[in-house]
C-alpha cells in the first residue's frame, strides 16, 4: 500500500516589496521542503502581494517548527500568513431555509470526500430538512427567526459556532438577512450563494422576472457576506445558456443547478486556502494537483 505523503500549504499576503518570492522559496528549500505547486500575484492597483504554495516536507519538518523559523520573514515583509496541512478538514456550519438543492449537493460531496470539510452542524429556521441532515448523523439546530427575536436567534446561532469550533459558515440558501454585528464577528468567514440577476431583478420571483424579460443567460454568484447585502467580495461565478423555448420552471431548475455548483466551488477554493481578500474583491488562485480528487472514487 502506498504511504500517503504530507502536503502542506503556505498562504502569504503582504505589501508589494521586491524579493519576497525569492525569500519564501529559498526558506522552504533550505529546510528540505519540495515545492509542488506555486501561484503568486502582485496587484499594482492595491500595492499588495499574494502567494500560495503547496509543498512536501522531505526531512521531517513539522508545521510548528516551520512557523517559528518563518517569523523573520513575517517581520521583514509585514506579512499575514498561514501554514496548514492540506489534509486537515475545516469545520463548517451550514445554514438553510426551505430550498434544499445546495444543502443536498454539499451533503453528497461531503459524504464522498470531495470537499475536505467537517460539517459540524446545520442551522435552519425551518424543520424541512431535519430528517435528511440527521440521516447523515449531523446535528440539526432549528432556530426560528422573527423580527421580534432576531437578536436572540443570532446569539443562539453564534453559540453553536463557538461551541463547535466552526471556522466557516455557509449560507446554503438561508433566506434571512444577517445583522451587521454578525457579519463583522464572522468577517471573511461567511459565504453566500444567490442568482446573478442582481441588481436587475430584485425581490420575489427573480426567475419569473428574468423570463418576462427574455434573459438568455442564467447565473449564480458566491461571495463573502458583508453588511452590504449581496455586495460582498465575489469568490466564484458561473452561467448556463438558455433559449426562448425554456419555461419559467426551466429557469428555476437550471438556476438551482448552477447555484449548487458555484457554491461548492467557492467552498472548495476557501478550504484549500486559495481565496484572499483584496479590499472589495478577491484573489482566487487555481486548484493544486489532486485537490479535486474524492476519497471515495467510483
Q: Determine the average pLDDT of the residues in 182-196.
A: 94
Residue 173 is given by DSSP the state: S
Residue 154 confidence (pLDDT) above 80: yes
Residue 199 confidence (pLDDT) above 70: no
Average pLDDT value for the chain: 93
- Give me the pLDDT at residue 298, please: 52
In this structure, the number of other CB atoms found within 10 A of the CB of residue 142 comes to: 13
In this structure, the number of other CB atoms found within 10 A of the CB of residue 73 comes to: 17
Q: Could you tell me the fold of the domain covering 91-284?
A: Rossmann fold (3.40.50)
- Give me the pLDDT at residue 197, please: 75
Q: Are 183 and 227 in contact (CB under 8 A)?
A: yes
Residue 62 confidence (pLDDT) above 50: yes
- Give me the pLDDT at residue 79, please: 97
Residue 40 confidence (pLDDT) above 90: yes
Residue 101 confidence (pLDDT) above 90: yes
Grid coordinates belonging to 256: 438551482
pLDDT band at residue 1, thresholds of 50, 70 and 90?
Answer: very low
The superfamily in CATH containing domain 8-85 is ACT domain (3.30.70.260)
Q: Are 7 and 37 in contact (CB under 8 A)?
A: no
Domain ranges of the chain: 8-85, 91-284
pTM score: 0.94
Q: What percent of the chain has a predicted confidence (pLDDT) above 70? A: 97
- The residue with greater pLDDT, 52 or 297, is 52
Residue 292 confidence (pLDDT) above 90: no
Residue 6 confidence (pLDDT) above 90: no
Q: Determine the average pLDDT of the residues in 119-146.
A: 98
Residue 228 confidence (pLDDT) above 90: no
At 156-181, the pLDDT tens digits run 999 999 999 999 999 999 999 999 99
- Catalytically active residues, by annotation: 230
- The residue with greater pLDDT, 2 or 4, is 4
Q: What is the DSSP string of 110-151?
A: HHTTSS-EEEEEEEESSSTTHHHHHHTT--EEE----TTTHH
| Integer Cα distance of 277 and 270 in angstroms | 11
Amino acid at each position: 500500500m502506498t504511504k500517503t505523503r504530507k502536503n502542506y500549504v503556505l498562504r502569504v499576503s503582504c505589501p508589494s516589496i521586491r524579493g519576497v518570492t525569492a525569500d519564501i522559496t529559498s526558506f522552504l528549500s533550505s529546510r528540505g521542503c519540495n515545492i509542488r505547486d506555486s501561484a503568486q500575484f502582485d496587484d499594482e492597483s492595491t500595492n499588495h502581494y499574494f502567494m500560495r504554495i503547496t509543498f512536501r516536507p522531505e526531512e521531517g519538518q513539522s508545521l510548528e517548527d516551520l512557523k517559528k523559523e518563518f517569523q523573520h520573514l513575517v517581520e521583514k515583509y509585514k506579512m499575514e500568513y498561514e501554514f496548514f496541512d492540506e489534509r486537515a478538514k475545516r469545520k463548517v456550519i451550514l445554514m438553510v431555509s426551505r430550498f434544499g438543492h445546495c444543502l443536498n449537493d454539499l451533503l453528497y460531496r461531503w459524504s464522498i470526500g470531495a470537499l475536505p470539510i467537517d460539517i459540524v452542524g446545520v442551522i435552519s429556521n425551518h424543520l424541512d430538512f431535519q430528517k435528511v441532515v440527521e440521516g447523515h448523523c449531523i446535528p440539526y439546530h432549528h432556530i426560528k427567526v422573527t423580527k421580534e427575536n432576531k437578536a436572540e436567534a443570532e446569539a443562539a446561532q453564534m453559540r453553536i459556532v463557538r461551541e463547535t469550533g466552526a471556522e466557516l459558515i455557509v449560507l446554503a440558501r438561508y433566506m434571512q438577512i444577517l445583522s451587521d454585528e454578525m457579519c463583522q464577528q464572522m468577517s471573511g468567514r461567511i459565504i453566500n450563494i444567490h442568482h446573478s440577476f442582481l441588481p436587475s431583478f430584485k425581490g420575489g420571483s427573480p426567475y419569473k422576472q428574468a423570463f418576462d424579460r427574455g434573459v438568455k443567460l442564467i447565473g449564480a454568484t458566491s461571495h463573502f457576506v458583508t453588511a452590504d447585502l449581496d455586495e460582498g467580495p465575489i469568490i466564484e461565478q458561473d452561467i448556463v445558456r438558455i433559449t426562448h423555448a425554456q419555461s419559467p420552471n426551466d429557469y428555476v431548475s437550471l438556476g438551482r443547478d448552477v447555484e449548487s455548483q458555484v457554491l461548492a466551488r467557492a467552498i472548495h477554493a476557501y478550504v484549500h486556502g486559495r481565496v484572499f481578500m483584496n479590499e472589495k474583491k478577491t484573489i482566487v488562485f487555481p486548484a493544486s494537483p489532486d485537490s479535486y480528487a474524492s476519497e471515495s472514487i467510483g
